[in-house]
Chains A and B, each alone.
Chain A
Amino acid sequence: MAYTDACVHPYPDGDTTLSRMALEARECGFDRIVSTTGSGEFSGVQVVQGIVITAANVREMTRGVRRAPPGALVMIEAGDEGFNRSAVALSGVHVLRGLGRAGKHAFDHVAARIASDSGVAVEVDLAPVITLRGRERQKVLQRYADLLVLQHHYDFPLTVASNARSCLDLRTVRDVVGLCSLFGMEEEETLSALSSVDGLREHPKPVQVVG
């Protein structure tokens, strides 16, 4: 089982180069990372190109997905309820991210069912769990616990990401399991989420009109 950190932001977005991030990820127990700034293989860690699309509306999102480089893991920044339903229904999208910061009803049972049918994963971002304190962190933990209820019912894939901008933001696999237990994820569920990126990348691509 290959464990993947589903999103990191190396230099120039962060203060750590891609090869150093890969080196640290290997020490943390990861076999693969999804990077927003490059791809390749460093220190025995496979680096997958990821692209984060932040769109104000569905039209912008569709344009962004069409322009995504081939082979990249396409991640959409979550918005309101309607936007998220459209995002998980859009072919070419692999991951819906940022639900910890989205509104309370941004991801409902309808979106969960669509995500399950279309094989789109929802990202569990650990950065707010680590960095926030007090009421803000409580909100994020509530969102993830709620997300987990929907996941148990509809069985859509989950991914777990550190969203590290520095090698100091990376956490070990054991730490990730511990942090996910804060909102009720069992160890097997967390390990399964850490290895779910393989299945997403093998997902069939949208039909494209050629010529």
Chain B
Amino acid sequence: MKPRPPTLRTKRRYLLVRVLPPWQEAGEKALYLAVADAVTSLFGDARAAAIQPAVLSCEDGYAILRCQRGMEDDLAIACSTVTAVGEIRIALRTVAVSGTIAALKRRLAEGGPAKVPETVTYGEKASPAFRYGRHKVDVLQEGIKKQSRVFLTDHDREEI
């Protein structure tokens, strides 16, 4: 199929979204399903069709989303209602909106968060933890049934 001339193409906007916690792997497809579900449940099928949400990439704690021009505010609101991808609790925070992907990629920080946890002493036992930002420490605790997360700062961990 011959591509449309630029004047006839639909205009799009791209959102740079931070995925929290940044060390949590969220696949593009799973993230798309979560975002599409949030858009549909908040605005309904008709508006979701107009927004046309899509996930272009998801890596290193950031995702790039796409929507129709003029719908970026709606997509950002819908993103703020995403609380989980599958069974994993996450949060999406919109960082920037742009007309080009290149402009968003320039804003991405060099080097992503650590993917392998380090071992820290939390309470009286050693637990895996991810350290990022300046003082943030996310400790993973093994429970009887499932793993839980505790969000601390360096200062808290020293006190505990």
Does B69 sit at the interface, judged by CB under 8 A? no
Identify A19's interface contact among B21, B76, B149, B156, CB under 8 A: B156
Quick check: B153 and A17 within 8 Å, CB to CB? yes
A135–B83 alpha-carbon span in the complex (Å) = 18
CB distance from A64 to the nearest CB of B (A): 30
Complex CA distance for A172 and B94, rounded to whole angstroms: 9
Partner among A17, A137, A168, A170 whose Cβ is within 8 Å of the Cβ of B152: A17
How many pairs of A and B residues are in contact by the CB < 8 Å rule?
73
Most chain A C-beta atoms within 10 Å of own C-beta, residue among B73, B80, B83, B89: B80
Give the interface segment out of A65-73, A102-110, A126-134, A190-198: A126-134
Give CA–CA (A11, B136) in the complex, Å. Answer: 15
Q: How far is the CB of A107 from chain B (nearest CB, A)?
A: 24
Chain A 146-180 near chain B by CB (<8 Å), digits 1 or 0: 00000000000000000000111111101100110
CA A168 to CA B135, docked complex, whole Å: 16
- Is A130 touching B83 in the complex (CB atoms < 8 A)? yes
CA separation between A178 and B75, bound complex, in Å? 10
**B41 touching A17 by the CB < 8 A rule?**
no
Chain B interface residue bracket vs A = 20 to 34
Query: Nearest-CB distance from B4 to chain A (Å)?
Result: 32
Task: Report yes or no: A130 in contact with B41, Cβ–Cβ below 8 A.
Answer: no
User: Of A20, A131, A134, A179, which one neighbours B83 at CB under 8 angstroms?
Assistant: A131
Cβ contacts B127-153/A at 8 Å (1 or 0 each): 000000101100000000000111111
Beta-carbon contact of A134 and B151 below 8 Å: no
| In the complex, per-residue mask of A175-189: 1 if CB is within 8 Å of any chain B CB, else 0 | 100110110000000
Give Cα distance in the complex from A169 to B3, angstroms. Answer: 43
In this complex, what residue of A is CB-closest to B77?
A178
Partner among B41, B80, B89 whose Cβ is within 8 Å of the Cβ of A178: B80
Which 4 residue pairs are nearest across A and B when measured between Cβ atoms?
Answer: A175-B80, A178-B77, A16-B151, A168-B91
